[in-house]
Amino acid sequence: MPQHNSYQLARTAAAIVDRADRAWVVVSGADRRSYLHGLLTNDIASLEAGQGCYAAYLTPQGRMIADLWVYELGDVLLLSMVRDVKQTVLARLDQFIFTEDVQLGDVSETFTATAIVGPRAAQAVADASSAPIALLTSLAEHGSVRIDFEGQPAIVLSTTDTGERGFDVLVGVDQAARLRERLHAAGAVDADAAAAEALRIEAGVPRFHLDMDEETIPLEAGIESRAISMTKGCYVGQEVIIRVLHRGHGRVAKKLVGLTVSGTELPAPGSTVQAEGRDVGSITSSTWSPALEKPIALAYVHRDFVAAGTAVAVNGSEAVVTPTPFVSPSQSVR
């Protein structure tokens, strides 16, 4: 179970979530937006300075290579992804640069990202840096702004993928420890790994290589409303997505759903989900929910059993399909 204190502070004040798992890639050049627009699922071409979006990078067969967070900083695009897909993403992006004015740069070892989440996250960042709190609270989801941190340039990104609203603050690697010191002085506490996982799963946020992978179609993971533009032009894998949406009416063989589990035992990833006496799916992530005081999980189940309220079983324990988010994030960040 997560440590009660850090979880509660993430929900009511400010907590620091480790981001060592993130990789950062810079895409520069005059053609950077049009280039990525033709490769990723969301609308990159219309992004203006300070704006961003969530997107997926697909194979021509509609399978996921990665999910990405894209930030237009005004002179470059900054991409965030899980670290273990970075080399694959860089190699594939490089293959599609022909005559375009586009350059790729891996800055994962140049900058360190620190996530600060919770309703007082903006105040903690403002107290720890030069950023005016009004500027931070005005950022839209996926928004970004450059700030100064102790005389050096830094970047603040508005984020929600931790499960609680907040910010990623990127500083040079030699300033990371100092940033944490100042955030601690501003009242932020370190969220332990279990608390961070509880926040993510309570929000129903899937994580690549846990809840989706290279065999996943975005529609199966339920990320299409956030990651896919239905009005943009062509992108890699679009034909498959459109065919499923329009000819198949969006029906896929399985979908990622939330499960509320009875008892106190956490179902391990890979545990079988059963219904009507047969195997209908498997668990991908699970956690103890401090808010609900019971185990919850994300799982892929057969499309006939995805409706909210459907009764299933996991390891002999009763479970029920539950809409996500299980717990809504804080309504404001101040």
Beta strand residue intervals within the chain, DSSP E: 15-17, 22-28, 52-58, 64-72, 76-82, 103-106, 111-117, 144-149, 152-159, 166-172, 189-190, 254-261, 272-275, 278-289, 294-302, 311-314, 317-322
List pLDDT tens digits, range 130-170. Answer: 899 999 999 999 999 999 999 999 999 999 999 999 999 99
Q: Residue 3: is its pLDDT beyond 50?
A: no
pLDDT tens, residue by residue, 168-223: 999 999 999 999 999 999 999 999 999 999 999 999 999 999 999 999 999 999 99
Strand partners, 212: 208
pLDDT, one tens digit per residue, over 57-83 is: 999 999 999 999 999 999 999 999 999
Structure pTM? 0.95
Give Cβ neighbours of residue 100 (< 8 Å, ≥ 6 apart): 29, 31, 34, 35
Q: Out of 164-168, 197-201, 232-236, 243-247, which region has the weakest mean confidence (pLDDT)?
A: 243-247
3-class DSSP state of 290: coil
Q: Is the pLDDT of residue 319 over 90?
A: yes
SS (H, E, C) 64-77: EEEEEEEEECCCEE
Q: How confident is the model at residue 1 (pLDDT cuts 50, 70, 90)?
A: very low
pLDDT over 90 (residue 328): no
Q: Which residue has the tokens 């009416």?
A: 249
What's the confidence (pLDDT) of residue 4? 58
* In the predicted structure, residue 334 carries a pLDDT above the cut 60: no
Domains in the chain: ranges and CATH = 4-199 (3.30.1360.120), 253-322 (2.40.30.110)
CA-to-CA distance for 163 and 327, rounded, in angstroms?
Answer: 9
